[in-house]
Amino acid sequence: MMRIQRPMDPWAAWEDYVAERAFVGVNLERVEDQGVVVELRPGSATEEAGVQTGWVAIARDGETLGDEGITFTSEPGVGYEWTFVDEENVMKQVVLEARTLSDRMPPVERHSAEGWIYLRFDEFEEDYHDWLRERLEVHREAPGIVLDLRQNSGGTVSSLKRVINDFFEERMPYDAFVSHKGRLADEKSAWRDGVGYQGELVVLIGPGSASSAEILAHVMKHYERATLVGRSTTGVVVASQYFELRDGGRLQIGTFDYESLDGNRLEGNGVEPDLLVESTLAEVRAGRALEVEAAVDWLRAVVKGSEGRH
């Protein structure tokens, strides 16, 4: 089992506790093997500077964006020179100031004229889950829901258990966490009653889906409760714990691996979609969301097929 050891100094531990970070506000994804701007964080310098989705990020302060992305952090109030290539293939150099913003993106809800509901949340935490449960209650009779986990980095196991319950009518096993000593701890979704939404479900996944998001996607696929659309998840599913240090810092250590319902590891492997959808750079620049389009097409086909059987 892979073990993760990541100490935090006191300042980083405090930032983690208050859930705020310094951001310039640009979210990137690999598209056609390039780091492409897919989202701008609200209230950020990037949003105000006129950076556009579809621009290709080349470097920050002269450090080239590699295959694994840019891994350095930002300091509040510091300006960083980013190099982009815009939609006209013109190189742009933009100085972006890092600002301290909430670590959490707000959840998103959208509706279509056909009754489909799009729901996005980016972390498995109590506030997000309370929001999701409320929306599922409101839309209990919706013919289909698109649940977007493409930017969901995971979160607490307790929240994961509750979210699973919201899509099943009873407690569901989601298999086991394995300690470094090899002991298995069989897991089921929460005792607490969930919404038990029974409509059609499509889950969007991608390289930004990690940890609890990957487990949820796996559970939905295993029980054939949802169709997974998008790209493979990242394969980061070792459960970790924080240990407080005497100087006020914290140490994060991987303590449990996850064994899936089919007996495999998700760590290092991830979850494969049922329907592979990869956007091109031209489509991102045109503002098209191919994964969402594919999800809606699938819902239309399922509902039409169901009507034809009556």
Q: What is the pLDDT of residues 244-267, one digit of tens each?
A: 777 777 676 666 788 888 888 888
Which positions ≥6 away from 57 have C-beta within 8 Å? 26, 28, 35, 36, 37, 65, 70, 82, 83, 84
pLDDT at position 302 over 60? yes
Q: pTM for the complete prediction?
A: 0.85
Kind of pairing between the strands at 56-60 and 79-85: antiparallel
Sketch out the chain's domains with CATH numbers: 20-102 (2.30.42.10), 108-308 (3.90.226.10)
Confidence grade of residue 69 (pLDDT, cut at 50, 70, 90): low
Go through 242-267 and write b for each residue having 16 or more CB atoms within 10 A of its CB, e for each that does not.
eeeeeeebbebebbbbbbbbeeebbb
Rg of the chain taking only CA atoms, in angstroms: 20
- What's the rounded Cα separation, in Å, for the pair 149 and 151? 6
DSSP state of 156: -
Strand-pairing partners, residue 100, are: 22
What is the chain's mean pLDDT, rounded?
85
- What's the rounded Cα separation, in Å, for the pair 308 and 290? 27
Strands, E, within 41-155: which ranges?
56-60, 63-64, 79-85, 91-97, 99-102, 108-111, 117-120, 144-148
Mean pLDDT computed over 186-194:
79
pLDDT of residue 43: 87
- Would you state the structure tokens that stand for residue 20, as one six-digit string? 């705020």
Does residue 41 contact residue 20 with C-beta atoms inside 8 Å? no
